[in-house]
Amino acid sequence: MKKKAAHQPGHLDVAAFARERGRLEGMQPVAGMVRLSEGLDPPADAPAPQVQWSAEGLWSQPLGDQPQPKLRLRAQTTVWLTCQRCLQPVALPLEIDRTLRFVRDEDEAARLDEEEEEEDVLALTRALDLPALLEDELILALPIVPQHETCPQALPWSGEPAVPPGGVPDVDAPEHPFAVLKQLSRKE
């Protein structure tokens, strides 16, 4: 009996993997993903997060149509980003579940990828770099405006009254806080 060659994540024969309904899974440190890490902002004392991922080969052949090799890619991790409200680091869960469809050549892939909304369409290859694809998908899934649900610190420019309790230190300003209020109410 001929033993099947093991599928290599860095050098995956997509058609063979899909036909065999192969499955690969693993853990990979976020720090090892250079392009993804560039956009991240982890605090020095934060534990190094891992990406937990799996890839599953899918194969269907609609009647009278070309066979359709597909790859379902799932991953989850935690990423440190800069909160756009308080500018402090925020840890956010990142999760992907993408199905990629493979077609014979680049031109067809480009044309179908435009039309398709649900699936990404790529050209079939015998040497897919799965870790690079995984990194691409994680980068695409990053939130555009990362924010804390509730920021840990109040913003320096909000929540406090404009006039400090001890009076206004500015020499040009009226001497008493109430004078400011009076002026404000007169303007209305």
Residues 50-89 that bind Zn ion (CB under 5 A): 83, 85-86
Pick between residue 112 and residue 151 the one whose CB is nearest to Zn ion. Answer: 151
Pick between residue 32 and residue 143 the one whose CB is nearest to Zn ion. Answer: 143
For residue 82, the minimal CB distance to Zn ion (Å) is: 9
Pick between residue 41 and residue 113 the one whose CB is nearest to Zn ion. Answer: 41
Q: How far apart are CA 155 and CA 161, in angstroms?
A: 13
Pick between residue 58 and residue 86 the one whose CB is nearest to Zn ion. Answer: 86
For residue 148, the minimal CB distance to Zn ion (Å) is: 3
For residue 39, the minimal CB distance to Zn ion (Å) is: 17
Contact 123, 105 (CB under 8 A): yes
**Starting from the edge strand earliest in sequence, which strands make up the sheet with 89-103, in order?**
23-29, 50-60, 68-82, 89-103, 120-123
Q: How far apart are CA 20 and CA 132, in angstroms?
A: 22
Instruction: Tell me the CA distances in angstroms from 134 to 73, 141, 169, 180, one per residue in order.
Output: 8, 11, 56, 58
Determine which helix (DSSP H) or strand (DSSP E) holds 113, and give its type and residue range: helix 106-115
Pick between residue 15 and residue 151 the one whose CB is nearest to Zn ion. Answer: 151
For residue 156, the minimal CB distance to Zn ion (Å) is: 13
Residues 132-151 that bind Zn ion (CB under 5 A): 148, 151
Q: How many CB atoms lie within 10 A of CB 37?
A: 16
For residue 149, the minimal CB distance to Zn ion (Å) is: 9
Per CB under 5 A, residues contacting Zn ion are 83, 85-86, 148, 151
